[in-house]
Amino acid sequence: MSPTQRRRFLLAAGATLVGPLVGAGPARASTLYTIGFVSPVAQGARDEALMTGLREHGYVEGRNVHVEMRFADGKPERLPGLVGELVAQKVDLLVVGATIGARAAKRATTSIPIVFAGSSDPVAGGIVTNLRHPGGNITGISLAYGDGFAGKWIELLNDAVPGLSRAAVLWSSSNKAASRFVNELRLAARKLGIALDVHHAKDSPELDAALAAIRSGDAQGLVVTPSPFAASQRRRLVAFAAEQRLPAIYFFASFANAGGLMTYGPDIADAYRRAAFLVDKVLKGAKPGDLPVERASKFELIVNLKAAKTIGLTIPPAFLLRADRVIE
């Protein structure tokens, strides 16, 4: 073997030996980690996004990770029980959705690491006291609704509905940050000269009363603010707005996908995918409380032209140009 052939042989052998280690992902790759995942909604985009994120960090179901999944199917009251099931199984780590899910996980365990994905405002929600230093056994992804976000909803509704002078707002104390949303909406509406009718609903009877009041009022638009309860009532709220021919703006893409006029908010699937980054850090030895809570960085304005046609609304062309996605 010539010197050149010998060098090529040694390089090839070295590449074979180190190849499996490059990008291998989690430390202790031979370990099968068990992750408990609790979603506030039904199976779908959120769990798929988490699994995509895990694969991006080298975790493959059945090889080095097993994900035990639980779904609340839009019923927030189920979250504590579902979290309790996984804590009893002594999973290695919990991934939980929604503020109420994160609070349930905090109450259920102080030893199992927790990564929350999708809290409107972790500080207002009582999950952490400091975003940079969450402390304890928890960290996660903030949807950044608490950063002066709410005023944008009334601004967008005003731009989409020419001549808007009065709007209804639906909020729920099932979201601890919701009162802040209402205050921000009032400030923004005042600047625009728009009157607001504010309605509260945290359960079905209250929602019945709120929708009846909106129906009998003279609002020309509707803002639905984030809450687990509102998310669970997505189809009813979309149907109500269509029946009343009432332009409405919501906070999750799922509302537009279900026939709502428009939504503006963080990309929830992206937040769950990014949660996998924190999962990877923790499984490699980082303490959750030392990992800063990350803010959502991807936001979407989605407009549903089918819904606009149904209620007889013509969306200004300039507004459509601002949309990240248009459903036709």
Q: What is the pLDDT of residues 132-175, one digit of tens each?
A: 999 999 999 998 886 678 999 999 999 999 999 999 999 998 78
Half-sphere CA count of 304, side-chain side, radius 13 A: 23
pLDDT at 146 (0 to 100): 65
**What is the rounded distance in angstroms from the CA atom of residue 89 to the CA atom of residue 41?**
22
Report the relative pairing of strands 195-200 and 222-224 from DSSP bridges: unpaired
Element (H, E) at 326: strand 325-327
**What is the rounded distance in angstroms from the CA atom of residue 8 to the CA atom of residue 327?**
56
237, 217, 218, 212: which is closest to 226 by C-alpha?
A: 237
**What is the rounded distance in angstroms from the CA atom of residue 36 to the CA atom of residue 117?**
13
* pLDDT at 13 > cutoff 90: no
pLDDT at 61 (0 to 100): 96
Residues paired with 265 in a beta bridge: 300
Q: At a CB cut-off of 8 Å and minimum separation 6, what does 306 contact?
A: 259, 327, 328
pLDDT at 147 (0 to 100): 64
8-state DSSP, 324:
S
Q: How far is CA 45 from CA 80, 94, 114, 303, in A?
A: 22, 18, 21, 19
pLDDT at 175 (0 to 100): 80
**Angle of CA points 300, 302, 303, to nearest 5°:** 160
3-state secondary structure of 118: strand
The two three-digit tokens of residue 178, written as one number: 């919701």
Q: Tokens 């989690």: give the residue.
A: 26
Q: Tokens 């909106």: give the residue.
A: 214
Instruction: Give the lowest-confidence range in 15-24, 31-40, 95-104, 268-277.
Output: 15-24
Residues of the chain with pLDDT > 70: what percent? 90
Q: Is 247 left (phi over 0), alpha (psi -120 to 50) or beta?
A: beta
The domains found in the chain, sorted by start residue, are: 25-146+268-298 (3.40.50.2300), 151-265+300-327 (3.40.50.2300)
Confidence band of 68 (pLDDT split at 50, 70, 90): very high
8-state DSSP, 78:
G
The two three-digit tokens of residue 317, written as one number: 């062309």
Q: What is the mean pLDDT of residues 244-256?
A: 96
Q: Tokens 């549903």: give the residue.
A: 304
Residues paired with 167 in a beta bridge: 196
In tens, the pLDDT along 176-207 reads: 778 889 999 999 999 999 999 999 999 999 99
Question: What is the overall mean pLDDT for the chain?
Answer: 89
* pLDDT at 21 > cutoff 70: no
